[in-house]
Copies of this chain bind each other. A is one copy, B any other.
Amino acid sequence: MDNDNQISIETVYSLKDIAQLSGVSVATLSRYFNGQKVRRSTEEKIKEIVDKTGYTPSIAARFMRGRSTGVIGLIVPDISHPFFSMIAEGVMNEARDNGRLVLCGSSSGSREVEKRVIRQFSQSILDGLIYIPVGEAEDIPAIETFRNLPLVVAVRLNIFKNVPHVYHDGEKGGYLATKYLIQLGRTRIGFVASFWSPPCTNEELLEYTNAHLAGTFSSIHRFKGYLKALEEAGIPYDPKLVAVTTYSHQAGVDAATALIGRFTNCNGIIAMTQIVANGCVSRFKSQGYKVPEDLSVIIFDSNKQKADYAYTNVELSLVEMGQIAVRTLDNLIKGKKANDICIDVTLQVRETTSFLHPRENDETI
């Protein structure tokens, strides 16, 4: 073992110890550690001892006195899912670089578990909480009075009033994807809308969208962009090109089956996730379609995800979303007002719409 790398933290010092050693009172020390001004000479006395002892204030004790602890919470539906773990990476990086710690809980995709996690967290020592609710449905638990804890919601929209939400610009994403496909000459673009649990049928999607302009569903927002691009290009909306489904591989297969069965002449697909797209593509391929020659495919995803194909995708910057969530929470903790933040998206053209961009892939374990 390398001695240079040795990190050994043996003794735990208290403010009293430091007071003893430095000859400065605990009060002054406390003020110093909380950023108040002290005389030059006392500062030097303090610094010397702090360097020598490696002292840092006890999180627990300062929490007991009702002060900030530097710990923020993060609740995600499933930390093993790359979508959320990337956001978590952003959260943890940003938090770490600001001297904060992250208490992280996974709700395992279950509303019930989520409630338990929230309960556990609530009796904890948090300065604030970043919360990604399970699913996109309507039965999200209202944490209206979460012990006055500064709260930021990520990924989802319109969950709580007076709470900042950090989310991607779904409408722009749908618009960019559709517009690009149109530019490629595709006019029969299938829209595969995925829902945790579908609130409407294929035929009702347009109606539902118009009725829920500020809804929580990402598919709906993206669908709005799809409609906008079609309209701009003068392409009439054809409900036959829409498939309302869920988020599984099979859902993608089913959606493709439906699109094929309706003889829509579909030559483009916009799918919400990679897995759904995989299902679609495999179904279309079994019908003799070639990607991207006969069918262009665009998904919503993060660049870093590993896919069966190098999908052209609407890039969802996930690590960045985590960072932004932490910064937003920071503002809230500092008493500033924070608004919803809609994160911009860009289109990344890759193999499923052209051959121009080779796949890049790199990882280490």
- B-contacting residues of A (Cβ < 8 Å)? 1-2, 5-10, 12, 54, 56, 58-61, 63-64, 69, 71, 74, 78-83, 85-86, 88-89, 92-93, 96, 99, 101-106, 108-109, 111, 113, 115-125, 135, 138-147, 194, 196, 246-250, 272-275, 278-279, 304-308, 319, 360-365
What are the residues of chain B within 8 A of A92 when measuring CB–CB? 79, 104-106
Copy number in the complex reads 2
A-B contact pairs, 6 of them (CB 8 A): A5-B139, A8-B145, A8-B146, A12-B147, A96-B105, A101-B103
The 7 closest A-B pairs by CB, nearest first: A80-B89, A85-B85, A60-B63, A249-B361, A5-B141, A104-B104, A60-B60
A78 contact from B69, B83, B89, B105, Cβ within 8 A: B89
Query: Complex formed: what's the CA distance from A145 to B11 in Å?
Result: 10
What are the residues of chain B within 8 A of A363 when measuring CB–CB? 81, 247-249, 273, 275
What are the residues of chain B within 8 A of A247 when measuring CB–CB? 363-365
What are the residues of chain B within 8 A of A305 when measuring CB–CB? 306
Contact assessment for B103 and A71 in the assembled complex, using a CB-CB cutoff below 8 Å: yes
Query: Complex formed: what's the CA distance from A144 to B122 in Å?
Result: 34
With both chains docked as a complex, state the minimum distance between the C-beta of A162 and any C-beta of chain B, in angstroms. 13
Contact assessment for A101 and B109 in the assembled complex, using a CB-CB cutoff below 8 Å: no
Contact assessment for B142 and A7 in the assembled complex, using a CB-CB cutoff below 8 Å: yes
What are the residues of chain B within 8 A of A362 when measuring CB–CB? 248-250, 275
